[in-house]
Amino acid sequence: MSDSVTGLRVVRAGPLGLLQDAGRFGVRRLGVTQGGPVDLHAWAWANRLAGNAWGAAALEVTLGGLTLEAERDLTLAVCGADLGATLDDAPLACWRRFSMRSGQILRFAQPISGLRAYLAVAGGFRAAPVLGSISAVSREGLGGHDGRGRPLAAEDLLAVAPEAGQGSGAAEVPGEHRPDYEAVPRLALMPGAQIADFEGASLFAAFNRRWTVDDRADRMGVRLTGPRLHCRLTSMISEGLGLGAVQVPPDGQPIALLNDRQTIGGYPRLGALTPLACARLAQCLPGREVRLTAVSAERALDEYRRFRRLFA
């Protein structure tokens, strides 16, 4: 791209490094999903520290294992999971802005707390949009640093704006906005259209029993294991699926759908997690306990509006 220069070189690729802007919208009628950061909260704060406007592309680093070398002086910020990040082998604190000089090495090791870290650069990472977005969706081969949704590989180059800037505002995220990834999260769920079709005992169990994050979890969705939920519906016409939709297949174990979900589905839905509940779930490693709590659409909307005002 003529308006960009190389900012970082991939020395070692981890399991899943993907560029994500706010997401790909207006294309679900074509069967194309939204993509975007699965942890909207950490992604937004990383961009805020870097001085970027809402929607700028940041790097989503899942499980660590990634090593990057600076090709020029940069101002960056890292938020989200503690993946044991180091800068030239010195520990790098999370939820902060930092400077990286040309030739310095940034490493993400492995999860200490949480699952995904977000790396933002002042001015934003640059790539050619596909269907209006840079967001990488590997399953559909769209977006990302190469336009094909491919995760980062060794020797890949990440482009930045020629005049990247120095970030702005506070240099770190206030403590009250930093989640405790070791605490048991209470995930806010808005009851859905089919909730009355679930048996009463199942509804009680859904909101009063613990759930465990299954190892079948990725950017498409997270399966929860726990009490078996029973629904009186035996068949459904497929419906559109929004972010956070909690489907319950015949085995009674719910699946919370995230950013790379399919666009339609025919299983009954318990409801939908709020965007911030999805963000918190996205930081849960397999085996983590979670709880579901019912909230009204009005309360969920108020929570989201207060969150977005932080980044206006």
Question: Which of the residue ranges 65-79, 93-107, 199-213, 233-247 would you say has the lowest mean pLDDT?
Answer: 233-247
Pick the CATH number of 186-309 from 1.10.287.1080, 2.40.100.10, 3.30.360.10, 1.20.140.10: 2.40.100.10
Q: How far apart are CA 15 and CA 85, in angstroms?
A: 15
Q: Is the pLDDT of residue 247 over 70?
A: yes
Q: Transcribe 170-221 into DSSP letters.
A: -SB--GGGS--TTSPPEEEEEE-TTGGGB-HHHHHHHHHS-EEEEEEESSSE
Confidence check: pLDDT of 168 > 70:
no
Residue 25: pLDDT band with limits 50, 70, 90: very high
What pLDDT shows up at residue 9?
A: 98
pLDDT tens string 67-97: 999 999 999 999 999 999 999 999 999 999 9
pLDDT-based confidence at residue 163 (cuts at 50, 70, 90)? confident
Kindly report the pTM of this predicted structure.
0.96
- pLDDT recorded at residue 161: 87
Among all chains, which residue has been given the structure tokens 């981890």? 14
CATH 2.40.100.10 maps onto the chain at 186-309
Note the pLDDT tens digit of each residue in 283-294: 999 999 999 999
Distance CA 13, CA 34 (A): 24
pLDDT class for 3, splitting at 50, 70, 90? confident
CA distances 234 to 128, 250, 251, Å, are 45, 9, 12
Look up residue 181 and give its amino acid: Y
Decide if 247 contacts 220 (C-beta within 8 A). no
- Please give the pLDDT value at position 105: 98
Quick one: what percent of the chain has pLDDT higher than 70? Answer: 98
